[in-house]
Amino acid sequence: MKLTCWGAAGTVTGSMHLLETESGRRILVDCGLYYEKKNKDITENNRHFPFNPRGIDAVILTHAHIDHSGNLPNLVNQGFDGKIYCTPPTKDLTGYLLEDSVNIQMAAMDKTTVRKKSHKKIKKNISESLLYSYKHIKQTVEQMEMLDYNQTLSIFDDIEILFVNAGHILGAASVLIKVREENETKTIGFTGDLGNNHSKLMIDPIPLPQPDYLVTEATYGGRFHMTGKDVRDVLLEEIQNTCVNQSGKLIIPAFSVGRTQAIIFTLHQLFVEGRLPNIKIYTDSPLAIKTTRMYETYVDLLNEEAKAFHKKYGELFEFDRLYTLLNPEHSESISLDPEPCVIISAAGMVEGGRIQQHVRTNISNANSTILIAGYCAEGTFGHLLLQGLSHVVINKKERPVLAKVRQTDGFSAHPDHKGLLDYIQKSSGENTEKVIIVHSDPESAAALKDALNPQLHAEVAERGKVYELN
């Protein structure tokens, strides 16, 4: 068989890997949006595929995040009519995330081009420029075929697939693909995005059953999470210092899927333990509201701590003092209100979404804190904030950074360098001929490669290079 990595090669977005078998089957693993800051035109970067979408026989989707699923409706729009295999929660979440991706595309469009047109032409311009419409999203979801974890499914005469829980977000899977070629059967495993061990809500990632070839993520290659402190204590300390001692606002940028639920669950734990100060908590992301319901629906797939909590209290996320901001006007009024509070809002890297309003309002308030709760890619506003600058430019206006900018990686949804090495060691055996490293910046990929056993013949994926796996 042959493998070509068409995305997430030297980058962390745009995951898309093409597997071609000797029998001529063409399987695509993930079909995500590429959205690095340096190339801001999302639509043009993703519009054309380096292969014929009509020639793809099936897609395997590892999880719902938009950098893995976000270009599927475009693939469907361009003629792909096969099945998209994923877990049941991934099917549910992907529908929501794809609708949200239309909003992301609109926000990222070249506003100057749009501004030059008359008002009537603006709407036409936007709809013509989008990668896809709601019609294509609906069609994409209809093509999804669900497969539970740990069940083997024969998708073609010569190809079987198996999902194991990757522990990254709800529904995330690593996939083992078994391909029969002449008299020989070969296996290739794709980790998808892996979760961090001992994370909130999610189970630890399940190793793949030692495939012949392993395609692994390396987001945190060469980097280590800070350890030692319970995330409950981290949040409590920030709330105490900012909201109680200084009557300020604690602003937490968080992704709507995964991170937001982990933070709310942690605050709920503090609440039932009687440790949460009498401060209002606001969650401000329309997508997070839908996603949170989904986590409650699939509580059986969460870790033992979450299941036990749910059994005891009947709810994972709902508690007094937690308020949901439904519309932008309400969001703005809370942002401007001087009352101390905690606001959890998307997006996590402070690129787009309602979080921008909260950061803008509070960045020059010395009593407030912006708590970055995860990875911020270089070039994003979150990354810029972490540089410790005295001033930043928002909406063409220079503003002094007086709020404290803090960071915690306690909620990280990816394993660090050590976690990756442990996982790869468990997921590889004597038969493992090659490890291909994807989903990371070049430095992280190189650090992981250097640390792996030479017998694994690790290689950092190059975009478009064809790997002959025989």
Q: Which is nearer to Zn ion, 1 or 173 (CB)?
A: 173
Q: Which is nearer to Zn ion, 65 or 249 (CB)?
A: 65
> HSE (CB half, 13 Å, CA atoms) of 159?
24
Binding mask 407-446 for Zn ion (x = CB under 5 A): ----------------------------------------
Q: Note whether 60 and 28 are within 8 A (CB).
A: yes
Closest separation in Å from C-beta 10 to Zn ion: 17
Measured CA to CA, the distance from residue 204 to residue 219 in angstroms comes to 17
Which of these segments, 53-61, 175-183, 186-194, 244-252, binds Zn ion (CB under 5 A)? Answer: 186-194
User: Could you tell me which residues are beta bridge partners of residue 468?
Assistant: 2
Which of these segments, 42-50, 190-198, 395-403, 425-433, binds Zn ion (CB under 5 A)? Answer: 190-198
Q: Which is nearer to Zn ion, 17 or 65 (CB)?
A: 65
**Residue 224 CB partners (closer than 8 Å, separation 6+):** 416, 417, 418
Which of these segments, 58-66, 261-269, 270-278, 430-438, binds Zn ion (CB under 5 A)? Answer: 58-66
Closest separation in Å from C-beta 437 to Zn ion: 16
Q: What are phi and psi of 278, to 5 degrees?
A: -75, 75
**Residue 209 CB partners (closer than 8 Å, separation 6+):** 162, 176, 187, 189, 427
Q: Which is nearer to Zn ion, 178 or 439 (CB)?
A: 439
Closest separation in Å from C-beta 193 to Zn ion: 4
Residue type, 298: Y
Closest separation in Å from C-beta 167 to Zn ion: 11
Q: Which is nearer to Zn ion, 66 or 343 (CB)?
A: 66
Minimal CA–CA distance to 22: which of 2, 6, 51, 52?
Answer: 2
Closest separation in Å from C-beta 446 to Zn ion: 22
The token duo for 224 is: 């280590």
Q: Which is nearer to Zn ion, 309 or 375 (CB)?
A: 375
Closest separation in Å from C-beta 326 to Zn ion: 27
Which of these segments, 65-73, 233-241, 300-308, 380-388, binds Zn ion (CB under 5 A)? Answer: 65-73
Minimal CA–CA distance to 198: which of 411, 425, 373?
Answer: 411
Pick from 92, 193, 351, 416: which binds Zn ion (CB under 5 A)? 193
Measured CA to CA, the distance from residue 460 to residue 444 in angstroms comes to 10
Instruction: Give the number of residues in contact with Zn ion, rule: CB under 5 A.
Output: 2
Which of these segments, 48-56, 139-147, 189-197, 214-222, binds Zn ion (CB under 5 A)? Answer: 189-197
Q: Which is nearer to Zn ion, 12 or 322 (CB)?
A: 12
Q: Which is nearer to Zn ion, 20 or 409 (CB)?
A: 409
Closest separation in Å from C-beta 64 to Zn ion: 8
Q: Which is nearer to Zn ion, 193 or 204 (CB)?
A: 193
Binding mask 310-349 for Zn ion (x = CB under 5 A): ----------------------------------------
Question: Does 186 help bind Zn ion (rule: CB under 5 A)?
Answer: no
CA distances from 198 to 264, 360, 427 (A): 17, 34, 19
Closest separation in Å from C-beta 50 to Zn ion: 22
Closest separation in Å from C-beta 63 to Zn ion: 6
Closest separation in Å from C-beta 215 to Zn ion: 15
Q: Which is nearer to Zn ion, 65 or 136 (CB)?
A: 65
User: Could you tell me which residues are beta bridge partners of residue 154?
Assistant: 160
Question: Does 65 help bind Zn ion (rule: CB under 5 A)?
Answer: yes
Question: Does 259 help bind Zn ion (rule: CB under 5 A)?
Answer: no
Closest separation in Å from C-beta 70 to Zn ion: 11
CA distances from 181 to 159, 391, 434 (A): 9, 60, 18
Instruction: By CB under 5 A, name the binding residues for Zn ion.
Output: 65, 193
